[in-house]
Amino acid sequence: MKQIAAGLKHTAQAIAAAMMAVMFLTFVLQIFIRYSARLEWLPDYVPFLEPTRFGWTLELCLVLWLWLVFWGNAFVVRESDHVRFDILYSRVSRRTRRIFVIVSGLCIAVGLAVSIEPTWAKFYILRLKKTATLSSLFGDGIRMRDLYVVYMLFLVAVSARYFWIVWQAFRHGVPDAPGPDERRPGE
Amino acid sequence: MSFQFLLCLGTLFLLAGIGAPIAYAILISSLVYLFAAGQDIGLAGKVLMDGLYSSFVLLAVPLFIVAANIMNAGTISDRLLQFCIALVGRFRGGLGHVNIVASLIFSGMSGSAVADAAGIGKIIIEMMTKSGHYTRGYAAAITAASATIGPIIPPSIPMVLYALVSNTSIGYLFLGGIVPGLLMGAVLMGLNIWLSHRRNFALEQAVPLVELPRVTVNAFPALLMPAILLYGIYGGVTTPTEAAAVAAFYALILAGLFYRALSLRKLYEILVESARSSAAVGIVIGGALILNYIVASENIPTLMAAQLVGLDVHPLAFLITVNILLLLLGCVLDATTIILVIIPLFIPTCRELGIDLVHFGVVAVVNCMIGLITPPYGILLFVINAVTRIPLNEIIREIWPFLGVLLAALAALILFPGLVLWLPRAFGYAG
């Protein structure tokens, strides 16, 4: 059981790392093509470098960013990685903290679970909407809803995760307050 | 302000107050708002996804995070530090100066104060405490203070976020940060000189001048990075977002091929770590997009602007008040949250009062970065505490004078908009 969990965790991380790498390389490709496009003779020799073949780079990066955020929060981001306001949390007793975890966890778990159906219904119309440029990459069948599906994954996974956290806190209480040793870029 | 909006705020404060992740607190409170207003709660997800999907500038965020992580892992930071020691290590309080100069250079390569403190900051704190000339608290405090320059000098993740909420040009915002960043470096160095004479810090062993060329050559490729980035953006070679990719690519080439300090295994770890940080920042951005949607549909910024304009507030008085408010919020809130959620409230008023949005943005970002070192909630203090195990109270005891001079620099930036706007104007900014 533990091995399966560890295996899944590694797979999820590897997928996130791959998205990051592909996004980065796509950007580099995009800059490269912009300059190679000025060399009009180039496609005659290397037909692959025909600039019109690369209209999809920008949108692919956006898709990867979207997936990175929601895939990441569903499976890769740890509780301690989140931005939170913990002044109150780190100063109350362990018993109160347990109540905090159960109340906030239940709100998140239930709230996200309740929104699953209406959100999917809202995305329903997107089954018709084509992407701007990605059909050259993924084929003509791709629709916006296929890209947004990651948000549903996120809702289900995070909701389940918080039910689990609440259950753990209910059964075993909460560990001592972690030191404020989170590292986050972006600031 | 409608009942459902009050309910939304109440839920937000309650959930965030008891320690729920800010992003999820926002998400849940927006669901509460939509439900109470009788709207479709599926709208929250739609707004969130559409917002993230259409914000091209945001792509810079994960790329700058990758770039900073590669630089910290691939000895680029160490080489820069050797160069700075050879350059300014010979003066009294030398390692303090090294610390500040290194931050100035590093800030031209990374867009994140936390990356600066955790990478180059950690190494220099070890050097300062090992030399025995400085107290642990002083070493940590000066590192925290100089790390705030990181996102002021371009590139800068917080400025990208501000550009997103204010629709100002990232290029001009980046330019506007250069002089303020140098000013902050200058006041910190001034304070370091004064304190090291007063406390009579011992002199460091000076690196002989004949060594200087070797050290410079060693660090030269890394020193080129800020120049490449600035040329890329202002020479019209790349967009600011693409510049982030160029920075990451250049750091990768340097660390991997040139300095040979990066294994494939390490690179994989960097990618996972960057993905994790980007996702954690990304979800807060997403939450802020929903909250801004709600605030906008409640018409709050416009109402506020109308009120304030009706009161006939002087623009300067408004700026000062907003800055005091931001400083107070910075004591308890995270910079990302302030920039994405609080600052948009003031932007229409700035427009009405004729305050330049580039000036306002740079001042606000400087303010938020100072907020990173204000106790009790200063992320930089925590990061340094975490990576060096120097107790928080020792750091906080020494941080006050640094905080003082940074606030003085902030006041100068508020009072003299020319300090911020001079460089953008020289490059054709019409504001």
Contact A183 B383 (CB under 8 A): yes
Q: Which amino acid is at A104?
A: S
Q: How confident is the model at residue A182 (pLDDT cuts 50, 70, 90)?
A: very low
Does A187 contact B372 at a Cβ distance shorter than 8 Å? yes
Q: What's the pTM? A: 0.84
Lowest-pLDDT range, B106-120, B252-266, B284-298, B367-381? B106-120
* Contact between B365 and B321 (Cβ < 8 Å): no
Q: Given this model, what pLDDT does residue B152 score?
A: 92
Answer whether A152's CB lies under 8 Å from A184's CB.
no
Only one residue has tokens 């693409």, namely B242
Do residues B381 and B147 lie in contact, with contact meaning Cβ atoms separated by under 8 Å? no
Residue B168 CB contacts under 8 Å (≥ 6 apart), including other chains: B162, B357, B358, B361
Q: How near does any CA of chain A get to the CA of B340, in Å?
A: 12
Q: How far is CA B305 from CA B1, B356, B387, in A?
A: 14, 15, 44
Q: Name the A residues in 129-168 with CB < 8 Å from any B CB.
A: 147-148, 151, 155, 158
Interface test with A, best of B27, B39, B40, B49 (most A CBs within 10 A): B49
Residue B262 binned pLDDT confidence (cut-offs 50, 70, 90): confident
Nearest Cβ partner for B337 among A83, A105, A115: A83
* Spatial separation of the C-alpha atoms in residues B192 and B315, rounded to whole Å: 34
Which residues 27-46 on chain A approach chain B with CB closer than 8 angstroms? 27-28, 30-31
Measure the CA angle with vertex B12, ends B9 and B18; round to 5°: 135
For residue B196, pLDDT beyond 60 = yes
Residue A40: burial class (beta carbons within 10 Å; 0-12, 13-18, 19+) = exposed
pLDDT of residue A174 exceeding 80: yes
d(CA A74, CA B422): 45
Q: How confident is the model at residue A176 (pLDDT cuts 50, 70, 90)?
A: low
Whether residue B80 is predicted with pLDDT greater than 50 in this model: the reply is yes
Q: Is B46 on the interface with A (CB under 8 A)?
A: yes
pLDDT in tens, A84-116: 777 788 888 889 999 999 999 999 999 999 999
Looking at residue A22, its pLDDT comes to: 95
**What was the pLDDT predicted at A177?**
52
Q: Which two tokens stand for residue A29?
A: 């490709």
Mean pLDDT throughout A65-92?
A: 88
A177 touches chain B (CB under 8 A): no
Out of A24, A79, A87, closest to residue B248 by CB:
A24
* pLDDT: which is higher, A185 or B238: B238
Please check whether residue B114 is in contact with residue A187, taking contact to mean a CB–CB distance below 8 angstroms.
yes
Q: What is the mean pLDDT of chain B?
A: 88
For A72, residues 6+ apart whose C-beta sits below 8 A from its C-beta are A16, B275, B276, B278, B279, B280, B282
Size of interface A-B (CB pairs under 8 A): 248
Which pairs count as long-range contacts for A137-140, CB under 8 Å and 24+ apart, including other chains? A137/A56, A137/A60
Over the Cα atoms of chain B, what is R_g?
Answer: 22
Contact A186 B246 (CB under 8 A): no
Q: Which residue has the higher pLDDT, A100 or A82?
A: A100
Give, in degrees to the nearest 5, the angle at Cα B243 between B237 and B249.
110
Closest CA to B173 of B412, B360, B411, B413: B360
Peptide bond into B376 cis (omega under 30): yes
Check B369 against A84: CB less than 8 A apart: no
pLDDT of residue A185: 43
Of B59, B249, B369, the CB nearest to A28: B249
A13 touches chain B (CB under 8 A): yes
Within B311-416, where are the H helices?
Answer: 315-332, 335-337, 343-353, 357-371, 379-388, 392-415
Residue from B70, B271, B392 whose CB has the most chain A CBs within 10 Å, to mutate? B271
B195 contacts B93 by C-beta, under 8 angstroms: yes
The pLDDT value given to residue B41: 92
Which of B19, B27, B272 lies nearest to residue A13, judging by beta carbons?
A: B272
Q: How confident is the model at residue B378 (pLDDT cuts 50, 70, 90)?
A: confident
pLDDT value of residue A62: 92
- Residues in A closer than 8 angstroms to B23, CB to CB, are 73, 82-83
Q: Which residues pair with B417 in a beta bridge?
A: none
Interchain CB distance below 8 Å, A65 and B62:
yes
Rounded Cα–Cα distance for residues B159 and B165 (Å): 10
Residue-wise burial string across A49-75, b where 16 or more C-beta atoms lie within 10 A, e elsewhere? bebeebebbbbbbbbbbbbbbbbbbbb
Nearest to A187 among B66, B113, B268 (CB): B113
d(CA B128, CA B131): 5
Report A:53-112 residues touching B (Cβ under 8 A): 58, 61-63, 65-66, 68-73, 76-79, 81-89, 97, 100-101, 103-105, 107-108, 111-112
Report the distance separating Cα B176 and Cα B182, nearest Å.
11
Q: How far apart are CA B291 and CA B27, in angstroms?
A: 8
Q: Is B40 on the interface with A (CB under 8 A)?
A: yes
Is residue B151 a contact partner of residue B275, using CB atoms and an 8 Å limit?
Answer: no
One DSSP character per residue, B224-261 reads: HHHHHHHHHHHTTSS-HHHHHHHHHHHHHHIIIIIS--
Q: Counting Cβ atoms within 10 Å, is residue B76 exposed (0-12), middle (13-18) or buried (19+)?
A: buried
Average pLDDT, rounded, for chain A: 86
Q: Which residues of B touch A83 (CB under 8 A)?
A: 21-23, 280-281, 284, 334, 336-337
More confidently predicted of A68 and B200: A68
B193 pLDDT exceeds 90?
yes
Residues of chain A positioned with their CB less than 8 A from the CB of B242:
27, 30-31
